[in-house]
A and B are shown apart, each in its own frame.
Chain A
């Protein structure tokens, strides 16, 4: 008993000081340790990386446990003076909006490491280091409370991701994909940098909590909102600037796709929610029709595009675009249901889409092709895989009971209050989603078996099953009992809405 007390005290101490720093820096420490281990010790390298990522995940769960959801304040706050003569501080903290993104990040990284367990043959150490560094950067993106630091981490994610796509991608086209990913994102975000600098010049601070209480004139808000939009729209992705996404997804290695779909797409919508909506309320109202229109076009267009794709990964990539545009509709409906639905759909998409990419990765590892015409009849050779794939496909088409349903339902409820027309159009996305998901499943799993093309049979191994199980648990948990997630978000989201007087 005294031992337990001591343990509790230790945890309390850690929380008071810096639990969030533990979460953020553990992967970095792991990456630094990996640097000093020779390349040949593959087992050691793998186990160190995996252990570090698991420890990070546990720390982030602790974050959730200790989270006080009766307040909208930022918790676990840390503030370090960073630049002299300026109000740019290294300021981090977590609230109900960002906490699940951090948990999602820490949840997906061990999976990424498991994915590359035996399939990554060359430069395994560098691969693991890249992912661990990426994890630190992404956690920081979600917990910084300073605009400039947000930009800093938002951009620095590009470097490891560029290398991951380029080095461990599968085909020659990967170079083009890496370039597109890099330049699209960079081009969008430099305008955000200008906007941040402008805000800093106007208000003398980049501290988010102070900016929440600052008011800009409407014209300025509109310009600044557009500058932020240029960056976030590329990341979300909205429809004219979504071209990089299918390319990057198709060419990235499986773990890269998991991170891209799971986390990096969320950076854009998180940015909308954290920055555009509360800081520029008038501009947000002004541009809501634009967002609605672009999102609806994206939902319908990409869902239809999905039907004509022949690459497995591209289909899932386009379906991600559709889901993320559901998210933006929910965000800009500017009421509690819509925003909470978006947050849930982001979480759910982080699980479902990542899991689908893992499924495609499993197929690709076995048969070295992603073209759909070579597949068929997998149910006869891979029954276990078919089961998992079915669950994730159903999750993707937002079947009631899965997490996506809760998200999309709340989004539609939310947007129905602001614009029925948009809701009606967006709801067609659910039908189309069902169409492409089921058709994809049908073509891969059922139908005639094509032994001319696919002639090495192996069902999922234990590692892969273990990898998929947490996803299934997550999907059903959110789908059946979403209250536990909504409860944490509730106060923060309503504070955000109250703050903007929406």
Chain B
């Protein structure tokens, strides 16, 4: 019997094949990048150049993402628990991973030209995004508090670095610092929650936790002790990472300060992963303790919706507006979690998919749109008022943005409506009437500032006709795809309902 290491983990390694491929690919890209960017190429006696590989590595990173996407689709097994019960594979992780790949792929794709034009020439940026994608993939499938925490930290560390990647900008460094401090703080809270839970149950595995806590409500002596504190801290840690309302302080500053491509990544990928992990932990392991944790999420959901609706009304800068709007969206998504029903989780992920599509659309527009000022100098959009006159000079783009804004506001027949309608439906069916009422009222209030953007583009009189730079092909492709998705989801929404239904079912077993 020669039982080698490979034999022992034979199937386990197959299960994480996409992650292994992505990590290996990223390391190879790192080595390649380091070697070639530090190579001195003598062009002539005076010109000694080192190549800038950001574009090259971006494309290679995109290829490796596509390959890992294909690997994920053709995974040898869909269901299983691997690596000594620390990672899990099921329909839930499967679909979430696909969404994550799509989100990361589009983030890199629509920021390629932005990076070149902003002279963010360090290729490590892409490497870090790929690394954090790996960590996000692991986070989604982690089945153990330790594995979860490690994955979160891996992701957060990469994020701290890329938030501050534009070193010569004060905003970016400040954003990085703020993000680091609050992120580390929230990780500490999360870790404390994990340790309390471990201390009072003796296990960290999510399945074992679920088994231990199954009959807990009948044994109140545990709930009264530190377990509840553990759960509370865990929830707070997660809500910090999600930028839910009482713990949202860092989000607007970080969103505004970091380079726009980073903001786009922040508002896409971590939301998917953290919501995935959050629903796995709370919906699966702590399901029988729903009464205590439901309240936390209800409060946060209400607070986020109200803050997202009211605070964004007074914003002048477009990225801050998007930050507050994403806080509001997190509030809506938390409605789904608070329900504690299968439909609730389904609604959450349906909304998440639609949110991802809308965010990709807005950011690919924001990253590509440049106003050409006097003397041919190009200027990026910073203020909302900069959009003035877009409808006159670039009508198709204005139409796209209008559709997306109406969709975010939840006006039928656009995609955003379906997400909201299903969320409110689940809230009503779980008898959370207050949440549903606050949800609809805040969505009307938030309409106000979304249609203000439409107003600025279409209705306002312009004295000088603004000139806009052309949109790059990659961005326009993404814009077009998401635009069609948003416009026509209503005609055939079945596949998305089915997929999210499968996800929710996988989670509840």
Contact = CB atoms under 8 A, between A and B. Distances in A.
Contacts of B443: 190
Contacts of B428: 194, 197-198, 201
A83 B412 CA distance: 15
A163 B395 CA distance: 13
Which of A123, A153, A197 has the most C-beta atoms of chain B within 10 angstroms of its own C-beta?
A: A197
Nearest to B494: A84
Given A152-B413, A152-B417, A166-B459, A190 B440 contact: yes
Interface stretch (A42-50, A178-186, A473-481): A178-186
A163 B268 CA distance: 30
Contact of A83 (B395, B458, B497): B497
A329 to B, nearest CB: 30
Nearest to B490: A152
Interface residues of B, number: 34
A193 B429 contact: no
A187 B441 CA distance: 7
A174 B444 CA distance: 20
A4 to B, nearest CB: 38
Given A84-B494, A183-B447, A194 B440 contact: yes
Given A83-B493, A179-B451, A183-B447, A197 B421 contact: yes
Given A85-B497, A155-B411, A197-B425, A191 B440 contact: yes
Contact of A190 (B406, B444, B458, B461): B444
Interface in A150-186: 151-153, 155-156, 158-159, 162-163, 166-167, 172, 174-175, 178-179, 182-183, 186
Contacts of B461: 172
Contacts of B424: 193-194, 197
A502 interface: no
Given A186-B447, A198-B428, A178 B412 contact: no
A82 interface: yes
Given A183-B447, A198-B428, A178 B459 contact: yes
Contacts of A159: 406, 411
A209 B383 CA distance: 51
Interface in A263-305: none
B448 interface: yes
Interface in A30-87: 82-85
A126 interface: yes
B437 interface: yes
Interface in B458-509: 458-461, 490, 493-494, 497-498, 501
Given A156-B412, A193-B424, A183 B455 contact: no
A156 B407 CA distance: 11
* Interface size of A as a range: 35 or more
B436 interface: yes
A162 B451 contact: yes
A151 B428 CA distance: 17
Contacts of A191: 440
Contacts of A155: 411-412, 417
A200 interface: yes
Contact of A166 (B411, B437, B455): B455
Contacts of B458: 163, 166-167
A151 B455 contact: no
A148 interface: yes
Given A182-B451, A194-B436, A201 B497 contact: no
Contacts of B451: 162, 179, 182
A392 to B, nearest CB: 31
A193 B490 CA distance: 16
Contacts of A182: 447, 451
Contacts of A197: 421, 424-425, 428, 436
Given A153-B413, A158-B411, A178-B459, A187 B437 contact: no
A83 B490 CA distance: 10
Nearest to A152: B412
Interface in B392-441: 395, 402, 406, 411-413, 417, 421, 424-425, 428-429, 436-437, 440-441
Contacts of A187: 444
A200 B428 CA distance: 10
Nearest to B437: A194
Contact of A151 (B395, B412, B454): B412
Contacts of A152: 412-413, 417, 490
Interface in A412-444: none
Given A175-B459, A193-B440, A201-B429, A126 B501 contact: no
Given A167-B458, A194-B424, A126 B395 contact: yes
Nearest to B391: A167
Contacts of B417: 152, 155
Contacts of A85: 497, 501
B56 to A, nearest CB: 38
Interface string A109-136: 0000000000000010010000000000
A198 B429 CA distance: 8
Interface in A444-475: none
A364 B454 CA distance: 27
B44 to A, nearest CB: 50
A40 B21 CA distance: 53
A187 B443 CA distance: 9
A249 B391 CA distance: 24
Contacts of A82: 493-494
A194 B432 CA distance: 12
A186 B421 contact: no
A190 B421 contact: no
Contacts of B494: 82-84
A84 B422 CA distance: 13
A131 to B, nearest CB: 16
B225 to A, nearest CB: 38
Interface in A177-234: 178-179, 182-183, 186-187, 190-191, 193-194, 197-198, 200-201
B413 A186 contact: no
B247 to A, nearest CB: 28
Contact of A153 (B412, B436, B455): B412
Nearest to B501: A85
Nearest to B447: A186
B354 to A, nearest CB: 15
Which of B412, B447, B461 has the most C-beta atoms of chain A within 10 angstroms of its own C-beta?
A: B412
A201 B429 CA distance: 6
B425 A200 contact: yes
A361 B454 CA distance: 27
B42 to A, nearest CB: 53
Nearest to B409: A186
Nearest to A155: B412
Nearest to B441: A190
A363 B344 CA distance: 56
Interface of A: 82-85, 123, 126, 148, 151-153, 155-156, 158-159, 162-163, 166-167, 172, 174-175, 178-179, 182-183, 186-187, 190-191, 193-194, 197-198, 200-201
5 contacts: A84-B494, A166-B458, A172-B461, A182-B451, A190-B440
Nearest 8 CB-CB pairings of A with B: A190-B440, A152-B412, A166-B459, A197-B425, A201-B429, A155-B412, A156-B413, A156-B412
Given A179-B451, A190-B444, 6 more contacts: A84-B494, A151-B412, A183-B444, A190-B443, A193-B421, A201-B428
